[in-house]
Amino acid sequence: MQSKREEYFEKGFVTLENIIPAEWITRLSICSDRLLEESRAVKESNDAFDLGPKHNHRSPHVRRLKALVDRDPVYWEFASESLLGDIAADLVGPDVKFHSSKLNYKWPGHGEIVKWHQDIPAWPHTNYSLVTLGVYLEDVTEIKGPLISIPKSHDGPLFFHTDNNGKWSGTIHENDMEAVDQNSAEKMIGPAGSVVAINCRTIHSSAENLSQRVRPVALFVYSSADAFAWMPQPTPTSKTGQIIRGSPARIAHLDPRPCPVPPNWEKEGYNSIFSAQKMD
Ligand SMILES: O=C(O)CCC(=O)C(=O)O
């Protein structure tokens, strides 16, 4: 595990293949299958579901299950008590604070892609310890919409995620991406039970799912306990801010590197990266 830790800090991301026990993957998948069933009765995106344009009761097209830990206690048990929390502690700990969670789907034939972005400009904190742990609930191959990350981009600048009119776009402008070495990008593939860890500054995206099977990825975000949000958060949950390992911080850690200011999500509302990036 030490070599994987070093890889994370060196590159800004790491894949931990087949690390979550199959029993957990089964429990998580049972919950998400139940939620997909429930989505059949839902007509518009709401606090629980981000729905794609073709969603209907016969053929659910859920792009995202929001605030996962509030949908079923099993998700919170997983986020707070399982090996996942230990992985977070290895990367941001020993004192670990829970931030948020969601589950992203990519459906065959629907063409969802996630464009190049960094996570922290949407939810800035006093430091950059935040890590997203993505848990692959099914095998993710090269053609199944894997996460793709750019090595060492966490050591580079943070970019505005706005369009030509200054409106939030959830993506790095293509002019800014010209300066980024996109050829070095790595696909993060792995069997069900793999975890991808991506630092909040790392530039990442994900490709279209060209396979015949759905690609569900459950994403959990953690920070060191001494990181504090300085703007309203886009995707708060009832558990946001809870310490899942170690103790609360008595001193905040302030990283001097600058960070763009996002919209005030409390006033403007937030649906998901898919709608921000205009996948509607
Ligand atoms: O689901 C994906 O493939 C990408 C997830 C992601 O990068 C995000 O939600 O910020």
Residue 263, classed as helix, strand or coil, is coil
96-126 residue pLDDT tens: 999 999 999 999 988 889 999 999 999 999 9
pLDDT recorded at residue 110: 82
Confidence tier at 1 by pLDDT (50, 70, 90): confident
| Cα 59 to Cα 57: distance, rounded to the nearest angstrom | 6
pLDDT recorded at residue 109: 86
The ligand 1 atom at the shortest distance from the C-alpha of residue 198 is 7
Q: Which of 90, 63, 73 is nearest to 195 (CA)?
A: 90
pLDDT recorded at residue 54: 86
pLDDT recorded at residue 133: 98
pLDDT recorded at residue 279: 54
Confidence tier at 91 by pLDDT (50, 70, 90): very high
Confidence tier at 272 by pLDDT (50, 70, 90): low
The number of C-alpha atoms within 13 Å of 92 and in the hemisphere containing its C-beta is 35
pLDDT recorded at residue 111: 82
20-57 residue pLDDT tens: 999 999 999 999 999 999 999 999 999 999 998 889 99
Helix (H) or strand (E) holding 3: helix 2-11
pLDDT recorded at residue 129: 98
Q: Does position 89 have pLDDT exceeding 60, yes or no?
A: yes
Ligand 1 pocket, residues with Cβ under 6 angstroms: 104, 114, 119, 145, 147, 204, 206, 217, 273
Question: Over the chain, what is the mean pLDDT?
Answer: 95
Residue 102, classed as helix, strand or coil, is strand
DSSP for 210-260 reads: -SSS-EEEEEEEEEETT--BSS--SS--TTTT-EEES---SS-----S--P
Q: Which of 195, 54, 45, 191 is nearest to 111 (CA)?
A: 54
Burial of 194 (0-12, 13-18, 19+ CB in 10 A): buried
- Give the pair of three-digit tokens for residue 175: 């002019």
Ligand 1 pocket: which of 103, 161, 204 to mutate (most atoms within 8 A of CB): 204
Do the beta carbons of residue 37 and residue 52 sit within 8 Å?
no
List residues bridging with 101 in a β-sheet.
Answer: 220
Confidence tier at 271 by pLDDT (50, 70, 90): low
Q: Report the first-to-last Cα separation within the chain, whole angstroms.
A: 40
Q: Name the closest-CA residue to atom 10, ligand 1.
A: 119
Ligand 1 pocket: which of 112, 114, 172 to mutate (most atoms within 8 A of CB): 114
Residue-range domains of the chain with CATH:
2-273 (2.60.120.620)
The ligand 1 atom at the shortest distance from the C-alpha of residue 114 is 4
- Span 218-223, average pLDDT: 98
Q: How many angstroms separate the alpha carbon of residue 148 from the centre of ligand 1? A: 10
Q: Does position 191 have pLDDT exceeding 80, yes or no?
A: yes
Directed axis angle between helix 83-92 and helix 2-11, to 10°? 60
What percentage of the chain exceeds 70 in pLDDT? 97
pLDDT recorded at residue 278: 64
- Span 190-219, average pLDDT: 97
Q: Using alpha carbons only, give the angle 231, 233, 238 rounded to the nearest 5 degrees.
A: 135
- Give the pair of three-digit tokens for residue 115: 């464009």
Confidence tier at 13 by pLDDT (50, 70, 90): very high
- Span 222-231, average pLDDT: 98
pTM equals 0.96
| Cα 280 to Cα 273: distance, rounded to the nearest angstrom | 11
Q: Centre a 10 Å sphere on the Cβ of residue 187 and count the other Cβ atoms it contains.
A: 17
228-244 residue pLDDT tens: 999 999 999 999 999 99
Q: Which of 277, 267, 13, 265 is nearest to 123 (CA)?
A: 265
- Span 1-30, average pLDDT: 97
- Give the pair of three-digit tokens for residue 2: 């030490």
Q: Which of 154, 186, 16, 192 is nearest to 87 (CA)?
A: 16
